[in-house]
């Protein structure tokens, strides 16, 4: 495999590991109590059959799936303590923010931050309106590599900016600026659940 492709895969691993750490720090207890109720058996086939996701997860974990994964009743990545994948999960598996988790967000900034990180992997996978990174084979990944690398660097930059929202030392003006930029850059953040959670925090003065 070309070293530039390996470098891009590693940047995706770093991004997902960062997102995973941030999610765990905030939501591990709530998700643990729920025991992965939103995991689905077909998600392992998405991970293993997508060239990009398979290679991201292999960079992070080596070959993690059992040879008989197709005979498993649930997702092959589901371990006793939750998902074994720190990177290379299907993007659906990051878009998890449910009502119990949103209830853990103390203010409007936290809502925007956690919805943002939950949608970031899906956002970067949609390279163009018609090109989905998760559908590409190795030759197509090579052909689109400059765009993929740009999207990954942009994602790392956006994540660094988004951290302003959960930084206790950051000022209100900086939080407003970061939130406005993220909402304009990624309108997908404003799905129904997130909109309601933001409106509730504004009504309650938690801004
Ligand atoms: S994301 Fe929500 S529904 Fe899914 S396991 Fe966590 S708490 Fe449960
Ligand atoms: S990849 Fe992980 S998060 Fe996704 S369904 Fe499987 S165990 Fe659950």
- Dist. CA 60–CA 13, nearest whole Å: 6
Q: Which two tokens stand for residue 15?
A: 């991004």
pLDDT of 170 strictly over 90: yes
Q: pLDDT, tens digit, for every residue of 5-26?
A: 999 999 999 999 999 999 888 8
Supply the residue whose CA is at minimum distance from atom 3 of ligand 2: 93
pLDDT of 37 strictly over 90: no
Q: State the closest ligand 2 atom to the C-alpha of 47, by its place in the atom list counted from 1.
A: 1
Query: What is the number of structural domains in the chain?
Result: 1
Beta strands in the chain (DSSP E): 78-79, 82-83, 126-128, 131-132
- CA–centroid distance, 36 to ligand 1, in Å, is 6
pLDDT of 146 strictly over 70: yes
Rounded to an integer, the average pLDDT of 123-152 is 96
Closest CA to 76 of 103, 41, 101, 104: 41
Supply the residue whose CA is at minimum distance from atom 4 of ligand 2: 93
- Dist. CA 198–CA 105, nearest whole Å: 10
pLDDT category of residue 177 using cuts at 50, 70 and 90: very high
pLDDT of residue 36: 57
Count of positions (residues) in the chain: 207
Q: Is the CB of 23 under 6 A from ligand 1?
A: no
Q: State the closest ligand 2 atom to the C-alpha of 89, by its place in the atom list counted from 1.
A: 1
pLDDT of residue 41: 64
Q: pLDDT, tens digit, for every residue of 38-97?
A: 777 667 788 899 999 999 999 999 999 988 888 888 888 888 777 889 999 998 888 878
Q: Is the CB of 36 under 6 A from ligand 1?
A: yes
Q: Which residue has the tokens 């943002």?
A: 116
3-state DSSP assignment of residue 68: coil
pLDDT of residue 35: 65
Q: State the closest ligand 1 atom to the C-alpha of 30, by its place in the atom list counted from 1.
A: 7
Q: Which ligand is nearest to the CA of 57?
A: 2
- Dist. CA 133–CA 143, nearest whole Å: 11
Can you list the alpha helix ranges (DSSP code H) found in 36-171?
42-49, 51-61, 91-94, 99-103, 108-125, 138-143, 145-162
Domain that holds residue 138: 3-203
The pTM for the full model equals 0.92
Whether the CA torsion 134, 7, 87, 118 is positive or negative: it is negative
Q: State the closest ligand 1 atom to the C-alpha of 36, by its place in the atom list counted from 1.
A: 5
Q: Which residue has the tokens 């709530």?
A: 30
- Dist. CA 111–CA 72, nearest whole Å: 35
Q: Pick the more confident residue, 153 or 74.
A: 153
pLDDT category of residue 169 using cuts at 50, 70 and 90: very high
List, chain by chain if needed, residues with CB within 6 Å of any ligand 2 atom: 36, 39-40, 43-44, 47, 75, 77-78, 83, 85, 89-90, 93
Q: Residues 44, 76: contact at Cβ < 8 Å?
A: yes
pLDDT category of residue 117 using cuts at 50, 70 and 90: very high
Whether the CA torsion 37, 101, 46, 191 is positive or negative: it is positive
């Amino acid at each position: 495999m070309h070293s530039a492709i390996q470098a891009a895969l590693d940047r995706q691993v770093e991004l997902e590991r960062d997102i995973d750490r941030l999610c765990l720090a905030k939501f591990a207890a709530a998700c643990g109590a729920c025991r992965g109720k939103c995991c689905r058996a077909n998600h392992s086939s998405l991970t293993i059959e997508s060239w990009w996701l398979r290679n991201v997860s292999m960079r992070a974990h080596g070959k993690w799936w059992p040879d008989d994964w197709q005979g498993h009743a649930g997702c092959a990545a589901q371990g006793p303590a939750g998902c074994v994948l720190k990177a290379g999960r299907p993007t659906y598996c990051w878009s998890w923010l449910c009502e119990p988790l949103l209830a853990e967000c103390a203010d409007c900034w936290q809502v925007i931050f956690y919805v943002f990180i939950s949608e970031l992997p899906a956002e970067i996978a949609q390279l163009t309106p018609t090109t989905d990174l998760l559908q590409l084979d190795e030759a197509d990944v090579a052909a689109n590599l400059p765009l993929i690398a740009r999207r990954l660097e942009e994602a790392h930059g956006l994540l660094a900016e988004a951290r302003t929202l959960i930084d206790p030392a950051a000022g209100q003006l900086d939080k407003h600026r970061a939130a406005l930029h993220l909402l304009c850059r990624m309108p997908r953040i404003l799905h129904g659940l997130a909109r309601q959670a933001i409106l509730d925090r504004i009504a309650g003065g938690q801004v």
